[in-house]
Amino acid sequence: MIGIPLVTVCYLLVNIAYFTVLSPAEMLESSAVAMVFGDRVFGAASFLVPVAVACSTFGAANVTAFAASRITYAAARNGHMINIFSYVNVKRLTPSPAAILNGTIALIMIIPDAANFSTLIDYFTFTSWLFYGATFLSVIILRIRRPKWQRPYKVFIGIPAICFIASLYLVVAPFLENPSLAYLYAAIFILAGLVFYFPLVYFKKVPLFMDPLTSFLQQALEVVPPPEQPNIYDNSESSHGFSLEDESDFH
């Protein structure tokens, strides 16, 4: 409740500082507004600006690596991915298979044009906001379809609605303004996951080599299945997380 508003205020103050010191023309002409701002305000100490940017970038990358691997871990734990990605390291209890998978995907995504950093940004922006929008939309749908679910935190329904509209704009607007093959690559990469999801997860058609492969990866990575997850729902609710009364509403 404090972190997000505090970061929002910091971003607003930084932008106000930019507009106070620099003119709109200077901001449009500059490829690094923070550097120009630092030269104008800090003088000889302007080298602190790129140092701060580098520290912020490293922190953001570190947080993304930790958070993304745990999203993959949670998806596998709920049966939406192969079981090996839900395993954790026996010593550090970290989801190392999920972290390795995300790192491998990140490397694959930069192969088409590894020399162009903007390509990676295009991939990440399109893909991330697409799934952010799906997440916001799912909050709205579940609030309507499963109103009696137990929710440790219940957000005001208008917030995910506004965020969904914003994410939809961030996905569609760049494509309409400047169509690029990067968006096509990202879409194909996302849809390619269905090739593995339907046979392996949805229909549970596990190939014969999966058990030996899982055993090998367990030994190589020193990982084990996670402990059982406690049920957060009341006893009156079914294993799917909604009550029998909710179920009868849809017949």
CB of 82 closer than 8 Å to CB of 205: no
Token duo for residue 221: 């990575």
In a domain, 64, yes or no: no
Q: What are phi and psi of 31, to 5 degrees?
A: -85, -15
Could you read off the pLDDT of 83-109 as tens digits, one per residue? 889 999 988 888 999 999 988 887 876
Both 199 and 102 in one domain: the answer is yes
In a domain, 77, yes or no: no
In a domain, 68, yes or no: no
Local confidence band at 245 (pLDDT 50, 70, 90 cut-offs): very low
In a domain, 71, yes or no: no
Cα angle 6, 12, 17; round to 5: 125
In a domain, 192, yes or no: yes
Question: Is the model more confident about 88 or about 124?
Answer: 88
25, amino acid identity: A
In a domain, 134, yes or no: yes
**Domain coverage including residue 5:** 1-57
Average of per-residue pLDDT across 164-182: 83
What pTM does this model have? 0.65
Query: How far is residue 98's CA from residue 106's CA, in Å, rounded to a whole number?
Result: 12
Give the number of domains in the chain: 2
CB of 146 closer than 8 Å to CB of 246: yes
SS3 164: helix
Query: How far is residue 189's CA from residue 178's CA, in Å, rounded to a whole number?
Result: 20
Both 93 and 18 in one domain: the answer is no
Its sign, for the CA torsion 96, 100, 102, 106, is positive
Query: How far is residue 103's CA from residue 60's CA, in Å, rounded to a whole number?
Result: 15
Q: What is the maximum span of the chain, computed from C-alpha positions, in angstroms?
A: 72
- Provide the pLDDT for residue 44: 82
Both 94 and 51 in one domain: the answer is no
Both 112 and 170 in one domain: the answer is yes
Q: What are phi and psi of 223, to 5 degrees?
A: -120, 155
Both 161 and 240 in one domain: the answer is yes
Both 45 and 103 in one domain: the answer is no
CB of 168 closer than 8 Å to CB of 133: yes
Decide if pLDDT at 251 tops 50: no
Strand ranges (E), the chain: 88-89, 223-224
- Provide the pLDDT for residue 4: 80
Both 99 and 188 in one domain: the answer is yes
- Provide the pLDDT for residue 247: 39
Residue 224 β-bridge partners: 88
Decide if pLDDT at 64 tops 60: yes
CB of 209 closer than 8 Å to CB of 201: no
Element (H, E) at 14: helix 3-21
Both 13 and 95 in one domain: the answer is no
- Provide the pLDDT for residue 116: 67
Question: Is the model more confident about 227 or about 223?
Answer: 223
With pLDDT > 90 as the criterion, what percentage of the chain qualifies? 16
Question: Is the model more confident about 232 or about 55?
Answer: 55
